[in-house]
Amino acid sequence: MREAAVVATILKHAVPKAEVTASLDQVRETVTGVIADIRERGDEAVRAYSEKFDKWSPDSFRLTDEEVEKIVASVPQQVIDDIRFVQDQVRTFARHQLDSLREFEVETLPGVKLGQKHIPVQAAGAYIPGGRYPLTASAHMTIVTAKVAGVPRVVACTPPIHGEIPAATVAAMHLAGADEIWLLGGVQAVAAMSVGTDTMRPVNLIAGPGNAYVAEAKRQLFGEVGIDLFAGPTEILVLADDQADPFVCAVDLLSQAEHGPDSPAVLITTSREVAEQTIAEVERLLPGMPTRDFAGPAWRDHGQVHVVDSLDELYALADEFAFEHVEVLTAEPRLALERMTQYGALFLGEGTCVSFGDKVIGTNHVLPTRGAARYTGGLWVGKYLKTVTYQEVTDPGSQALLGRLCGRAARVELFEGHARSGDIRAAKAAGDELPWNTA
């Protein structure tokens, strides 16, 4: 029986879901048209959409090695040093993840060897958003992790920003180990990497966050190409008890709302006072934020504040949201590790903010949104690996045993061809008769 939903006092509502659905329908229609056009016209269509959406149409969208070196040389040394430091954190965590994956071979019966191997995909596409901001961190998360997994070819795409090359992002892509760097954004980048064009060979898997259009393009192309997960507009859920600082709650909610006007920012708290003060702090801080043009609409349309009666209800309601980022500002934040099951990433305690995960701490910031945390975690080294199996039977006794068993099991299912394959093994190994072989 399904448990009843938590009943909370809602001090701030988001826009009705119907409005969000209508907006997504428009996104879906646009993306379908762009992908179809790129399938038909290839590079010509890619260039047309880049001109339309990014005002960008160079002779080649792919940067040469010489161009990359020149761009990287223009980046201040402190920025380069910081990029290297953060990439070291991401690389270290990804290597620990890789070490946790075990290849094995086991003998289950005499001469029956079963094994498991992890094989990296041979080509991955890394999408690094950049329409609003130069998101260097997404280069770390997608490219460094792919290289730790052993992917031999990583194609990295990022859009220009207001017609300019995002030098720091290009530096991050290069230092992360990208094999190809393309100044190309949006649906046209995702489609080109997925289906290929005359100038870009297709990849096997697409990874990276993006806006609603990028997320929809990945959704539509999934199956033709692998994807990491559906990583759409950023979400933040702050969980607070009566000890939480409303000022911290407000700052952290706005830290994610600034990603874009469609980024949900939600507070669930056991304290009405904390809720009301947080709302007041948000309204006080918003006018002075340089990114208020994005954060303001996000809070207005997608901000929510819920008050519940207990921590049990707080965690239960948090799981119903199944949000990308969950920041736990309670007296005992590690309780969330025991109580919660549906989230992209947890940030435990006031000393740990979501922005650390976004920018510097080393865990991956490509995380599930729009409820996808109900069935998947975020991007990790395993997303770039194919876990495959192999089998070998060398013992005649086991060949006969399995052959006879296969014959019986297959015939129960009316698969005579399968049964005969088993019969032959038993005949070869132990001299069993083949009554169906009349030759």
- Find the helix or strand (DSSP H, E) in which 347 lies: strand 345-348
Helices (H), 286-431: 292-302, 311-321, 335-339, 354-359, 396-412, 416-430
Is position 324 annotated as part of the catalytic site? yes
Q: What type of residue sits at position 264?
A: P
Distance between CA atoms of 265 and 231, rounded to whole angstroms? 16
Helices (H), 258-390: 272-285, 292-302, 311-321, 335-339, 354-359
Distance between CA atoms of 166 and 75, rounded to whole angstroms? 10
8-state DSSP, 100: T
Is position 259 annotated as part of the catalytic site? no
Q: Each residue of 388-412: b (16+ CB within 10 Å) or e? A: eeeeebebeebbbbbbbebbeebee
Q: Is 30 exposed, middle or buried (0-12, 13-18, 19+ CB in 10 A)?
A: middle
* C-alpha 167, offset from chain centre: 24
Catalytic residue, candidates 325, 327, 350, 365: 325
Q: Is 337 exposed, middle or buried (0-12, 13-18, 19+ CB in 10 A)?
A: exposed
Q: How many Cβ atoms from other residues are within 10 Å of residue 435's Cβ?
A: 7
Q: What type of residue sits at position 319?
A: D
Residue 286 contacts residue 296 (beta carbons within 8 Å) = yes
CB neighbour list of residue 264: distance below 8 Å, 6 or more residues apart: 14, 233, 235, 236, 298, 302, 303, 304, 323
Tell me the three state secondary structure of residue 154.
strand
Catalytic residue, candidates 216, 324, 327, 350: 324
Residue 183 contacts residue 58 (beta carbons within 8 Å) = yes
Residue 75 contacts residue 227 (beta carbons within 8 Å) = no
Q: How far apart are the first and last CA of the chain?
A: 60
Across the strands, what pairs with 109? Answer: 112
Tell me the three state secondary structure of residue 394.
coil
Q: Catalytic site residues?
A: 324-325
